[in-house]
Amino acid sequence: MNLPVVQACLLAEADLQRIRRAADYVRAHDTDQVLAELLPDLTAEERADVSRHLVFDHTAVLVFPATLDGLCEELRERGLEPGEMTPSVVVRGRLARRYGAVVGESPVGIVHVAVEGRSVEVFALPVPPDSPLEAVVADERAAGHESHHAFALTSPGPVVPAGLRTLLQERGGAVSDGGGHNAHENVTVLYFRTRTHQRFELRLPGRHAPLPDPAVSLLGVMTGAWATQAVATMAELHIADHLADTPGMDADTLAKLTDTHPDALRRLLRYLSTLGLLTSADGTYHLTAAGQPLRTGTDFSLHPLALLYGGLFYDSFAGLTHSVRTGEEAFAHRYGRHHFTYLAEHPELGDLFHRAMAASTEMFAPVPHLLDFTDVHKVIDVGGGNGELLGRVLRAHAHVEGVLLEQEGALEAARSNLADVTARCTFSPGDFTKAVPPGGDVYLLSRVLHDWDDERCLTILRRCAEAMRPGAQLLLVERLLPDREGTPAPAVAWDVHMLCNVGGRERNENHYRGLLEEAGFEFRGCDALPLGGSLIHAVRATP
C-alpha cells in the first residue's frame, strides 16, 4: 500500500521507525515470550503462574516531534492508529529528574497506537528546532531510558500486586526503577530493570503504594553504619534483657536501669523500632522476634556478634578502600597485625571473637544428622575453635571419638566447652598448614577455608588429604556465594568482610569443588544450613 506523503513532518524518520519496530514486536510476542525474554531466571511454571495475573499490554518508546500539535494526525497519515493524547505525569517527572532545568516545564504527551488488541505507547517530548533539548534527544536515543514493555494487572486487590513484586524481584532478579500514579488514567505504573538491562512496567489500576524513591533507598544504605552502632549500643546496654524480663517498659524506667539519659534513650528506642528490633505502644517498648537474639544467656544469642561488629570490625571497615585498592586486608593496615595475631595479643578481644563465633553456631545444628555416622569411629575437627561443632557430633553419636586440632591458646576454651565428652575427645595442639592428625573416618573443616586465599586453602586441604585414607569423608561448613551476580545472599556481604578483616574470601560451590578436586578429593554434594550456611560433602579420592 502506498502511503500519502506528509508535507510537514513532525517526527524524524528514526522516531517513526522506532514506533514501527515496536509495533512489530507487539504483534510477534505473547505474555509468556516477553516474560521469558525479560526474566530468564523464572522457570516455565513460574512464568505460567505470573501470566495468570498479568497480560502483555504494550511496548513503549519515547519520540521527539517538533510539537505535540498535529502529532496524532501525522501518525494516522503514516498508516498508524493512534488514540487520544493525554499528558504524562510519570515520564515527564523522570525526565526532569534525569536532566534537570533543561527539561523545565516541557510537556510530555502519551498516545497509544493500536496494534492487534495491544498497543505501542508513544511518549512524546516536543523539541523545537535549535532547542537545548537536542542534547536530551541524543542521550535518550542512544540509551533508550524510557523504552520498556508493559504488563497490565488482571487480578484486582492489593495482595496479588504485592506478591508479584516480590516474585519478580527475588526470583526474577528485577530491580525497582521508579514509577508513580497517573491521575489522568487513574493507574499506578511501577518500573523495573532486569538482569538483561531491559525495562518493564507493571500497570496497576487505581492508586497503589509507590516503589521506594531511589535517592531515599540510597540514603538508607549510606546510613547503615548508624544501624550497626545502634544495635551495638542496644547490646551494650542489655536493652533486650531488660525488655525480656519486663515487657512493656517505658523509656524513663529503662533509662534508670541502664544509667542513660531518658530523652536520648527514647530517641535510640525510636530508631531501633524503625529497624524492626522493637515495637512501641502508648510509650512502652517490646522486643520483636528480630530483637530477641540480642538477649544474653540464650541459645544462639547474637549479643557478642553485635558488640564485635559495632567495635573491632566496625573500625576495621574504615580501611575498606585500602583493601579494594590493594587487595590487602584493612585490619592489618589499621592495626599493624594480622587479624588472628592481633586477637592473640589482646585476650579480651580474642575472648569476644570466640564468643561471637559461637553465637552463630545455630549453623551447626543439622550437621550431625546430615551424614550417616553408623560406621564412623573417629571424627577429626581441623581448626575447630572451641569445639562447638565437634561437641554436637559427639553428643549426637555416643560411639564416636573425636580429635580437636587447634592452636594451644584456643584449646583451653575447647576443653571447657567439651567437658561433658572429654572422655571421648583428644585435644591436639598444632598448625593445620603443616600437619593434620591421621586415622579419622570423618574430617571437619568448619568456617576455616574462607579465612584464606586459594593457595593457602589448597595447602590446608592437601594436609588433610595426606592424613586421610581413600574413602574417608571431609565435611566443609561455609557460606556459599550465589552463582549469579546480583543475587541477594548473606555470603555476598561476608565476602567483603573477609577481604577487609582477614584477607580471605567466600566462594561459590563450583569454586570449592575445584579446590577440592585439585587437592585430591571427590565432591559429593551440598546441603543448606541455617544462617545462610552450607555443608559441602567430599571424600578422599584414591591417589
- The predicted model gives 219-242 an average pLDDT of 94
Distance CA 316, CA 36 (A): 44
- Helix axis angle for 262-274 and 224-236, nearest 10°, is 120
With beta carbons less than 8 A apart as the criterion, state whether 443 and 355 touch: no
Residue 397 annotated among the catalytic residues of the structure = no
What per-residue confidence (pLDDT) applies to 2? Answer: 46
What per-residue confidence (pLDDT) applies to 8? Answer: 52
Residue 416 pLDDT more than 80?
yes
What per-residue confidence (pLDDT) applies to 282? Answer: 87
What per-residue confidence (pLDDT) applies to 218? Answer: 83
Q: For 140-170, what is each residue's pLDDT tens digit?
A: 988 889 999 999 998 777 788 888 888 888 8
Distance CA 18, CA 14 (A): 6
What per-residue confidence (pLDDT) applies to 56? Answer: 96
Cell of 325: 585498592
What per-residue confidence (pLDDT) applies to 410? Answer: 79
H or E, element range at 465? helix 454-467
What per-residue confidence (pLDDT) applies to 1? Answer: 39
Strands 109-115 and 86-87: antiparallel
Distance CA 123, CA 141 (A): 13
**pLDDT band at 270, cuts 50/70/90?**
very high
What per-residue confidence (pLDDT) applies to 212? Answer: 65
The CA-atom distances, in angstroms, between 461 and each of 340, 434, 536 are 20, 11, 13
Dihedral (Cα; 76, 79, 84, 88), 10-degree rounding: -110
What per-residue confidence (pLDDT) applies to 250? Answer: 94
Residue 215 pLDDT more than 80?
no
**pLDDT band at 361, cuts 50/70/90?**
confident
Percent of the chain with pLDDT over 90: 68
- The predicted model gives 68-85 an average pLDDT of 93
The CA-atom distances, in angstroms, between 9 and each of 66, 83, 123 are 8, 19, 17
The long-range contacts involving 171-177, CB below 8 angstroms and separated by at least 24 positions, are 171/41, 171/42, 171/46, 172/38, 172/39, 172/41, 172/42, 173/39, 173/41, 173/484, 173/486, 173/487, 174/38, 174/39, 174/200, 176/211, 176/212, 176/214, 177/211, 177/214
With beta carbons less than 8 A apart as the criterion, state whether 280 and 273 touch: yes
**pLDDT band at 90, cuts 50/70/90?**
confident
With beta carbons less than 8 A apart as the criterion, state whether 377 and 355 touch: no
Residue 4 pLDDT more than 50?
no
**pLDDT band at 6, cuts 50/70/90?**
very low
The CA-atom distances, in angstroms, between 441 and each of 92, 377, 401, 499, 523 are 68, 6, 10, 33, 16
Which residue out of 450, 497, 511, 537 is catalytically annotated? 450
Q: Is the dihedral of CA 240, 243, 247, 251 positive or negative?
A: negative
Residue 252 pLDDT more than 90?
yes
Q: Among the listed ranges 108-117, 148-157, 426-435, which one has the minimum average pLDDT value?
A: 148-157
Exposure on the CB side of residue 487, measured as CA atoms within 13 A: 12
- Per-chain mean pLDDT for the chain: 91
Cell of 136: 536530551
H or E, element range at 87? strand 86-87
Q: Among the listed ranges 113-127, 334-348, 464-478, which one has the minimum average pLDDT value?
A: 334-348
Residue 374 pLDDT more than 60?
yes
Q: Give the SS3 label for residue 185.
A: coil
Amino acid sitting at position 286: H
- The predicted model gives 251-262 an average pLDDT of 96
Residue 438 pLDDT more than 90?
yes
The CA-atom distances, in angstroms, between 264 and each of 95, 173, 225, 268, 270 are 42, 41, 19, 6, 10
**pLDDT band at 199, cuts 50/70/90?**
very high
What per-residue confidence (pLDDT) applies to 211? Answer: 64
pTM passes above 0.85: no
Q: For 289-326, what is each residue's pLDDT tens digit?
A: 999 999 998 888 999 999 999 999 999 999 999 999 99
The runs of H, that is alpha helices, within 373-430 are 388-396, 408-417
Q: For 462-479, what is each residue's pLDDT tens digit?
A: 999 999 999 999 999 999
Task: Judge residue 238's burial from the number of C-beta atoms within 10 Å of its C-beta, 0-12 exposed, 13-18 middle, 19 or more buried.
Answer: middle
Spatial neighbors of 266 by CB under 8 A, at least 6 apart, are 251
Query: Cβ atoms within 10 A of the Cβ of 481, count?
Result: 22
Distance CA 152, CA 146 (A): 17
Q: For 493-527, what is each residue's pLDDT tens digit?
A: 999 999 999 889 999 999 999 999 999 999 999 99
Dihedral (Cα; 394, 398, 399, 403), 10-degree rounding: 20
What per-residue confidence (pLDDT) applies to 152? Answer: 92
Distance CA 89, CA 142 (A): 23
